[in-house]
A and B are shown apart, each in its own frame.
Chain A
Amino acid sequence: DVKVTQSSRYLVKRTGEKVFLECVQDMDHENMFWYRQDPGLGLRLIYFSYDVKMKEKGDIPEGYSVSREKKERFSLILESASTNQTSMYLCASSISAGVNIQYFGAGTRLSVL
């Protein structure tokens, strides 16, 4: 079974803090994705990566950056957390481009106070 693991299930941070959300997949997938999920808004794509050290902006990249130094790990960084970044963050991976099936992690619920 594909496993996508997000480092934290719940996080509480203060406004202005630098926040790292980590995601690791164990199936040698090429593509990795970060989404945020808010009630009534569905899943919105923040960033994705199709290879090590490669990244592409999604629909809502403002206030976020990412890092992919190794194939299995994709990190989402909030340089200076703000209250409007309080959300559920979901990481996903897929085997290659031509994405049909994405495998999701359990999510990190981030609260910025």
Chain B
Amino acid sequence: GQSLEQPSEVTAVEGAIVQINCTYQTSGFYGLSWYQQHDGGAPTFLSYNALDGLEETGRFSSFLSRSDSYGYLLLQELQMKDSASYFCAVNQAGTALIFGKGTTLSVSS
């Protein structure tokens, strides 16, 4: 079967760095995506990794190790507005995304 595992909750303070891990088990792996969803809002795309290594987009970075079936999202210089749910998603067979259950990040001052 296919599955994605990520922590259910993470807490941090403003200005800190937080890492949200995602391990996956799936067939036909094409890449790992990350989405952010604020309370009551729609999920929005953050980043995508098809190859091993680190992708950086401003304060957010995403990492993938295909051999370990593992990736993470790194959020730096945390701000209150980063409080949201973060989902990893696997692109399998080039058509549909399979999402993890999400990690709720709470940032406090």
Contact = CB atoms under 8 A, between A and B. Distances in A.
Interface of A: 4, 31, 33, 35, 40-45, 48, 50, 56, 58-59, 90, 92, 97-107
9 contacts: A33-B96, A33-B97, A42-B87, A42-B100, A45-B96, A99-B95, A100-B48, A102-B43, A104-B43
B60 interface: no
B43 A43 contact: yes
- Listed from nearest, the 3 A-B pairs whose CB atoms lie closest are A42-B101, A104-B42, A43-B99
B94 A99 contact: yes
B100 A99 contact: no
A104 B101 contact: no
Given A42-B101, A100-B31, A100-B91, A58 B96 contact: yes
Given A42-B87, A42-B101, A42-B102, A97 B95 contact: yes
A43 B96 CA distance: 12
A101 B87 contact: no
